[in-house]
Structure 1
Amino acid sequence: MKAILALEDGRTFEGEAFGHFGTTTGEACFNTSMTGYQEIITDPSYRGQIVTMTYPQIGNYGVNPEDAESHCPHVRGLVIGELSPVASNWRSRQSLEDYFAEHHIIGIEGIDTRALTKHLRSAGAMRSCLSTELSAEEAIQAAKDSAPMEGSDFVKEVSIEGVQKWEGESRLWTIPNPSTGQEGNYIELPEVKYNIVAYDFGIKRNILRMLRQAGFEVTLVNSRTPAEEVLAMKPDGVFLSNGPGDPAALDYIHAEVKKLLGKTPMFGICLGHQILTHAFGGTTYKLKFGHRGGNQPVKDLRTGKIAITAQNHGFATDGDSLSDNVEITHINLNDDTIEGFRHKEFPAFSVQYHPEAAPGPNDATYFFSEFAELIEAFR
């Protein structure tokens, strides 16, 4: 079936639909990752977005439950150059097309993704409509009528209800290492050393896995949970997760996080970093086309080391809005945007990118150890 992607500025792209049929709207953006399409599709941070994959062929290795970053897809739609006709991998349980059909997600292939990406880079991420039933003019109007990303609160749609202890897997999946005598794909996890509370703004499962692998037991709480209730749990620390939407629209979260400052060690990732920005008294702004992919170079100003990082965000911290009590620790080498900071008085730090990757490089996994060290120092 024919499909059309229409942007709010009037540009349109025609292709073939796959998965589900109908009409959807969302912010058009692009991701430069070469692999990991399933993790991207199921990342709650993509709520409200129609994602373009710049890698030309998607779906090659199918879909499997172990690689999902949440219980369902969160993208509004997916734009690709070519859908692989074969899903070939020993772990594959389902084709991408069948997965989209099951979850009612619209995909479109046969798009010139290079042209679309170049357009979004020059014009900026914008509202869009993906449809199998509207004319070009109707789809453009639907894009214009859809809600902008600025001011949106998608966190309320993806956060859990109530309080939940993350049970997770009891063993760690890994590649067998015969030199150590390991034969299977699983090894036992380390003992629990710390009990922490994690605010679920749309947390990825691999963050939870990495925290558990670093010795943390995690209790998840809803994004609306008051600081008093969190402190009553007497956690060793508090984690602020990734999530979707505009961080400036989350005043109710900023207020509670601000109450936690100085009372418990805190570590934030992505949206958690932006929320800490506001809790510190700073502000955030929307990037022209965001950082989405697994090849963003970040410099650690404390050591001079450079890491290649996985990122997924459309907003950033305004460095000029931060007080002298905040030390900028990491910057993006492509555009000098702030990628990490720490508070000089309170035990709190964060990074704008994803040290847990999934997908992407593992250069930055050391932050989970730094969180443990911060907790030990606070004790």
Structure 2
Amino acid sequence: MGTATSSMAAKFAFFPPNPPSYNIIVEEASGKMKFSDANYQRDNVDIFKLRTKRGNEIVAMYVKNPSASLTVLYSHGNAADIGQMYHIFTELSVHLNVNLLGYDYSGYGQSTGKPSEQDTYADIEAANKCLGEMYGVKQEDTILYGQSVGSGPTLELAIRLPHLRAVILHSPILSGLRVMYPVKRSLWFDIYKNIDKISQVHCPVLVIHGTEDEVVSFSHGKRLWELCKEKYEPLWLKGGNHCNLELYPEYLSHLGKFISAIEKLQCPCNTSDLKPKDQSDQTPNNSNQNEEQSSPSTDYKDKGRPSFGHREKSRLSTDSRDKARTSIDKREKSRRSIDRHMKARNSTDHSEKARNSFDRLGDMVRSVGLCNVDCLKQTAAEV
């Protein structure tokens, strides 16, 4: 049964770029690994291979930011490898002021083996272990970021890390089968049953989804947000599809705001402190508002505020933190300080430069076809 499940899951979900977008060389003098393309070589980026518990060697890259206090572990989408994600990773590290580790799943890029659901779980486990052993990153300083199919290994790891700082889900899926069919129950051969795991995550969760996503319905992100125990205000990008969310100015600003808020929270050493006091009253009202609201994306975000605001009251017990949450001036300052590398954050010219940078990233994402789960729909008739 297990073999049949793995085979079915692989047929549903895995389509690594062929050929890989990068090759690896080893410098003779230093013995360090680098991408062969000179455009993918920076002093603050480490390239290395990790051995997983299932016997595969996966390629990973670590982007160092000397002023960062948090580290993002990024699981990319289906039709991508870290060669294609290289510039996105390095830009996110700068703009969000974080360290960032990205990795290729087994069978992706120059990683060995063949992709499967269980292999991706072993892959992200090896990447997370690397953060602690090689870079001294603590669990409570780690943010897991899962894009599309990457939401699967992200949530699998998240439910096993009790002191995780936060989770970001970017165009996530409820499950592999639910991308193609509106099934009401999880079936034995389904893959990445995120709908059954999200309620077990006890750290703050940010969900980002485009309202016009043609690959993974907006309903997937919305439902996962409704089931979150620790909701952060979601980002519903009106008109956004599966491949262009980086083009929206709100994407970067909302991520930065989330990182800033997470930095100010106490480390989640006691998971009981993270549970909202009145979650049952929050979810229905906010979920209905987000589903029915047809105003611009900034309005979608505002509808999510009551849930996060209520949760913040249960988490921040000191007077100083309460005042920070209720003070408009201080909140604006925290928004403007999300990027310590951008000293003139409130400058119109500098903000425009940041937007242009992510416009280029968005164009790159679109040009390399990072549609992540599009192939799932193509196989529906064959299953």
Q: Same fold (TM over 0.5)?
A: no
TM-score scaled by length of structure 1 = 0.30
Structure 1 or 2: more helix by fraction: 2
